[in-house]
Amino acid sequence: MKLSPAQIQEFGEKGYLFFPELFSAVEIAVLKSEVPGIFAQRRQENVREKTGDVVRTTFAAHTFNEAFRRLAHHPRLVEPAEQLLGSKIYIHQFKINGKAAFDGDVWQWHQDYGTWQADDDMPNPRAMNLAVFLDEVTEFNGPLWFIPGSHRDGRIEAGHDLTTTSYPLWTIDNATIAKLVRQGGIISPKGKPGAALFFHCNIVHGSPPNMSPYERVIVYISANSVENAIRRYKRPEWIAHRDFTPVMSLDDDCLKTYRRGQAAE
Ligand code: SIN
Ligand code: MN
């Protein structure tokens, strides 16, 4: 899938692009049906909420689950990322964020590049997220909040928050957020399963807790330019990958042709 010049310009201005129907119901059903089995596993890649025995994030599922490996190589994600980053890409991080009904905790205001630079020594903000909704995202179940255009301010000073949630994050203080919101406002893309959000690694974002009875699973593929590989290996490999091999796209029907339990080809 190729982005138009107008879409590339919009990404540059706002820092994100929203696609209400990037994947079909059949494709999303393939992915969604894998999630309970993944969340049930006791493995280091499953980071649980501090409030309950529910999964906050599964890291690196594309390395141990064939359906998610296919998603990570999907041309509707890989080709736009190559266009926006101006090179081949590799996968820096891969997350299935559970945001479970009732237990899904806050993601504080942050920039992803803040963490990627501070922890992983990623040289430049030449990386982005490709987010795919596996559930309907509404105003109730902890949707993402973005400050449009905030990626243009570059990297903003952040503090390392080790206590608010079960997962350490470099977060931005309230006074700075208030100033940015006065300039750019807040938007919250909502949509059906199969919607997708591509966003710049420097856009300021977060999400409130999910106190609704509705699940909110979103998959995030963090794509980095192969010319921008990380230089510090402080975090585990399954959080910040060291495989800088360029991602090669699979066929457009790669999710539709997946059969449960099928091994990698
Ligand atoms: C993130 O910012 O990395 C995750 C936010 C969310 O899933 O709500
Ligand atoms: Mn983030």
Q: Is 97 in the pocket of ligand 1 (CB under 6 A)?
A: yes
| Ligand 1 atom with least separation from CA of 205 | 2
Contact between 112 and 222 (Cβ < 8 Å)? yes
Q: What is the pTM of this model?
A: 0.96
Please identify every residue whose CB atom is under 5 Å from ligand 2, which is an ion: 112
How far does the centroid of ligand 2 lie from the alpha carbon of residue 242, in Å? 20
**Rounded to the nearest whole angstrom, what is the distance from the C-alpha of residue 261 to the centroid of ligand 2?**
30
Domains of the chain: 26-228 (2.60.120.620)
Enter the tokens of residue 56. 């906050």
The two three-digit tokens of residue 82, written as one number: 């190559």
Q: CA 78 to CA 71: how far, in whole Å?
A: 9
Q: Give the full edge-to-edge strand order of the sheet including 46-48.
A: 16-19, 196-200, 127-133, 218-225, 89-97, 55-59, 46-48
Q: Is 216 in the pocket of ligand 1 (CB under 6 A)?
A: no
Nearest CA-CA partner of 194 in 18, 24, 1, 16: 24
**pLDDT tens by residue, the chain, 265 residues:** 899 999 999 999 999 999 999 999 999 999 999 999 999 999 999 999 998 799 999 999 999 999 999 999 999 999 999 999 999 999 999 999 999 999 999 999 999 999 999 999 999 999 999 999 999 999 999 999 999 999 998 899 999 999 988 888 899 999 999 999 999 999 999 999 999 999 999 999 999 999 999 999 999 999 999 999 999 999 999 999 999 999 999 999 999 999 887 777 6
Closest listed ligand to the CA of 165: 1
68 lines ligand 1 (CB under 6 A): no
Q: Counting atoms of ligand 1 from 1, which one is nearest the CA of 97?
A: 7
Q: Is 122 in the pocket of ligand 1 (CB under 6 A)?
A: no
218 ligand 1 Cβ < 6 A: yes
Q: Which residues contact 84 (CB under 8 A, 6 or more apart)?
A: 3, 8, 11, 128, 198
The CA 200 to ligand 2 mean position distance, Å, reads 10
In the block, tokens 């590989």 appear at: 229
Q: Is 107 in the pocket of ligand 1 (CB under 6 A)?
A: yes
Whether residue 67 contacts residue 30, with contact meaning beta carbons closer than 8 Å, is answered with yes
Is the CB of 219 inside a 6 Å radius of any atom of ligand 1? no
* pLDDT above 90: percentage of residues in the chain: 92
